[in-house]
Structure 1
C-alpha cells in the first residue's frame, strides 16, 4: 500500500474516531443534562462526568498532535477501556445487546486508526544518496 493510501486511510479512521469520541467528551466535560442522565442511568455519580470528559478530550487532542507515539498508545488503550466500560455498564443495568451495540462502531474505528497509525510509523523515508 502506498504512503498516500496509508495516510488517507489513517485520517479517515482517525477523523471518524475523533468525531465518535469528541462530542461525548465535550458533553461530559460540561456536565450537560444529557451526559448526567447517562451517568445516572448507569449508576455513576455526577462528579465523574467532567473528569471523564476531560480525559477523553485530552485523548482526542493527543491523537491530533503529531509525534508522541507512546502517548497515543495510551490513548488508544484508554478509548478501548472507556468503550468496554460503557458496554459492561449498560449490560449491568439491564440494557439490551441491541442498545449497546452502536458502541461496537467505536471499536472498529479504534482498530482502524490504531492499525494505520502503526503503518504510518513503519514508513521509512527514502533517502537518496548522491555519489
Structure 2
C-alpha cells in the first residue's frame, strides 16, 4: 500500500470514528433540557418522526462501529461494521429527504457516508477478509 493511500485511509477512518464517537456519546447521554419538547440532540430524531429511545440503539451501534473500524484484526467484524455504518448513514440521509429537511441538514450524513466508503475502499489488506 502506498504511503499516500495509507495516509488517506487513516485520515478518513479517524475522522469517521471521531464523528461516530462524538454523535454516539451525545445520543447516549440524552441529557434532559427543562422546558424542551425533546432532550438536546434528540430534537432532530423527533423531527424525523422517530421515538427518542432510538438514540440509545444508534449511539451504542455508532460507538461499537467506531471501535471496530479502528482496532486491528477481526476483518469479518470490520466488514459488518462498515456495512452497518453504510446502512445507518444512508438511512439517515433518506430520513432527512423523506421528512423534507433542508439540504444543509443532509451534510453530516453525506460527509460521514463518504468517509465510510473511502475508509472501506482504502483499507489495508490485513483489514480485509481473505480472498478464497
Same fold? TM cut 0.5: yes
Instruction: Tell me, yes or no, if the aligned pair for 2:90 and 2:113 is still in contact at 8 Å.
Output: no
Q: May I ask how many residue pairs the two structures share in their alignment?
A: 120
User: 1:121 aligned to 2:125?
Assistant: yes
Structure 1 position 9, deviation (Å): 2.2
Q: Which runs of 5+ in 1 are unaligned?
A: 124-131
In structure 2, how many angstroms separate the alpha carbons of the residues matched to 1:88 and 1:122? 33
Deviations 1:55-112 (A, max 9, x none): 1101111112210111111111111111111111112222133431342211221111
1-side partners of 2:11 and 2:30: how far apart? 29
- Root-mean-square deviation (Å): 1.9
Indicate which of 47, 64, 77 corresponds to 2:83.
Answer: 77
Q: Output aligned runs, 1:79-94, within 5 Å.
A: 79-94=85-100
TM-score of the two chains, using structure 1 as the length reference: 0.81
SS of aligned partner of 1:34: coil
SS at match of 1:43: coil
Larger radius of gyration: 1
Structure 2, gaps ≥5 residues long: 32-38, 128-132
> Separation in 2 of the partners of 1:39 and 1:61?
24
1:107 maps to which of 80, 95, 113: 113
